[in-house]
Amino acid sequence: MNGTIVLNRFEMGDRLGAGGFGTVYRAWDRRLEREVAVKVIETAAESGPRIQREAKAAARLNHTGIVTLYEFAHHEYGREGGRAYLVSELVDGETVRELIDRDLMSDHEIAEIGIDICEALDHAHSREVIHRDIKPANLIVPNGRGGAKLMDFGVARLTDGDDLTNTGDVLGTLAYMSPEAAEGNPVTPAGDVYSLALTLFEAWTGENPRRKPTPSLTLRAIERDLPLLADLRPDLPPGMTEVVDACLDREPGFRPVIEDLGLALEEALPELDRTVPGDDRKISGLTSFADGGLDLGRIACAAAVCGMVATGMIVSGNADAASVGVLGIISALLTLLRPKAGFLAGGVLLAAWLTVVASMPGAGFVVLLVSVPPALLICGSGSPLALAVLGPLLGTLGMAPFLPLLAALATDWRDRAVVAVTGLCFTALAESVTGRTLLFGKIEKASAGWENSVSDALTGLILPVAGSPSFLLSVAVWAGVALLVGAIVGWTRKRGGGHVPEPLTVAPVGSSRVPNA
């Protein structure tokens, strides 16, 4: 098409890139005398109205983090389909795909790119525009000064990108697609959050576990849970990794919004390394403890779970030191590896021991009741669950009301509520069992023999506690305080610590061009 005039205005130049989603050309705008990029896309028959809607939605976006769409045209050719022309800002730089492949980004620069894209997506989502195709190849870092930019709004839809049997760029898109999108369900802003989080995950670890050689294998990989970033890169700030892991939740309703992801990245910037790691970032499995990557939150959670298991066994009156040590150490080691799984395993191990060895099935049932649901509901790595176990201890010190304030330190809003309510349950049940005033003073003491069976535990402990007006009121108050204080803390940090991106230093490809689609 070199030298061809399209749309009576743009003189086509060299081809800059090509893929399943179209071909990109450098072009000269003869009217405004400037260089532009023209993307030519072959479209399906009778797709004109939908394509017009998508293009108009993309044209509404005006943000420094989004490649500007200048002009759009679509020509139908009957049953053979049509051709769309997207004329956009020409950006000379490298895509995040190229930077990942060549290990040219520091941890700090990855977070900066993430912040730029979060701001761009926040702008788009506020205008009810969803990108649908966030992936490293669609994020570009301009040469010289300036933040990262998001390319190709709506292109996946313009090309009927829901056909998952194609290869090439469609395979690349599929590897970053949210589970709900891969299943053909409606796409929401949460889908963009998932795809961006997975892009950041790959940038920090060097691998995308979803990406496979064929679409069928990729779809199969999407059905499996991702490893936690907190486990693969324990040297990264735990608050940030927990939010990224939460953004990769399979359930879209459980993911943080894009603003929360951007805030977590901003807060982590001072702690992130600015050196470019080269091949050292490549992850082949769980990071070794010898790497010095264990964070205090994970250690505290391991200690809390170990303490929970040991206390439950000792209080039963049937434990020997060896059993306490073995189960406590197993629970602690599992928690160090995966806090969420360790908390769950600690509860299950303690419940099994109480039921089988101590012949206290009622006590085992209560332990399962207070440990399994929180482990399943918590986002991210699960380290904040350590705070919930502290409830009874704070109660003995007369400091139980401070627990919801500690729960507010959890990064994700759901975690704050889970930690606050779980801590309240631990405290209320401990007060009922021991007869000591830890918080309420009005909780009915557990009936004698409540530990002997599940039915005795229900009638003698759980139902009286759950039916107590003071407990029910406290559930709402504690969760509300944790959410409110957490929101205030996040808002204060955001107001007081605005982020001004520093220029990224990256190596040019060698010649100015628009990256491949």
Residues pairing with 72 in the sheet: 86
User: What is the distance between the terminal CA atoms of the chain, rounded to a whole angstrom?
Assistant: 18
Angle at 89 between CA 86 and CA 92, to 5 degrees: 120
Q: Tell me, what's the pLDDT at 500?
A: 35
Which strand (E) or helix (H) includes residue 73? strand 69-76
Distance CA 209, CA 193 (A): 17
Are 347 and 300 within 8 A, CB to CB?
A: no
- Say which residue the tokens 């010095």 belong to: 292
Q: Tell me, what's the pLDDT at 364?
A: 94
Distance CA 329, CA 319 (A): 15
Strand arrangement of the beta sheet that strand 93-95 belongs to: 93-95, 139-142, 149-150
Q: Tell me, what's the pLDDT at 47?
A: 67
Give burial (CB, 10 Å; 0-12/13-18/19+) of 499: middle
Here the contacts of 259-264 (C-beta below 8 Å, separation 24 or greater) are: 259/118, 259/122, 260/411, 260/412, 260/413, 260/490, 261/114, 261/118, 261/193, 261/196, 261/197, 262/114, 262/115, 262/118, 262/119, 262/122, 263/490, 263/493, 263/494, 264/239, 264/240, 264/411
Q: What is the pLDDT of residues 112-133, one digit of tens each?
A: 999 999 999 999 999 888 888 8
Please list, residue by residue across 414-425, b when 16 or more beta carbons sit within 10 angstroms of its beta carbon and e when fewer do: bbbbbbbbbbbb
- Say which residue the tokens 């709506």 belong to: 154
Distance CA 302, CA 333 (A): 7
* Phi, psi for 221 (deg, rounded to 5): -70, -30
Spans in the chain with pLDDT lower than 50: 156, 158-171, 278-294, 494-517
Distance CA 515, CA 34 (A): 19
Contacts of 323 (CB under 8 A, 6+ apart): 313, 353, 357
Distance CA 393, CA 416 (A): 19
Distance CA 35, CA 28 (A): 5
Q: SS3 letters for 12-57?
A: EEEEEEEECCEEEEEEEECCCCEEEEEEEEEECCCCHHHHHHHHHH
Secondary structure of residue 37 in the 3-state scheme: strand
As given in the structure block, the two tokens for residue 273 are: 């390394």
Phi-psi region of 217 (alpha: psi -120 to 50; beta: other; left: phi over 0): alpha
Are 310 and 328 within 8 A, CB to CB?
A: yes
Q: Tell me, what's the pLDDT at 489?
A: 66
CA 492 from chain centre, in angstroms, equals 22
Q: Tell me the torsion sign for CA atoms 330, 333, 339, 341.
A: negative
Distance CA 446, CA 444 (A): 6
As given in the structure block, the two tokens for residue 88 are: 């956009």
Q: What domains sit in the chain, N to C, each tagged with a CATH number?
A: 1-90 (3.30.200.20), 92-288 (1.10.510.10), 296-496 (no CATH)
Secondary structure of residue 44 in the 3-state scheme: coil
**Residue 209 DSSP label:** T
Q: What is the CA radius of gyration of the chain?
A: 27
Catalytic residues: 133
Distance CA 52, CA 260 (A): 32
Are 104 and 276 within 8 A, CB to CB?
A: yes
Q: Tell me, what's the pLDDT at 167?
A: 38
* Phi, psi for 26 (deg, rounded to 5): -75, 140
**Residue 494 DSSP label:** H
Angle at 333 between CA 329 and CA 339, to 5 degrees: 125
High-pLDDT (> 90) share of the chain, %: 34
Using CA atoms of 177, 200, 96, 117 in order, give the dihedral in degrees to the nearest 10.
Answer: 90
As given in the structure block, the two tokens for residue 233 are: 């890169």
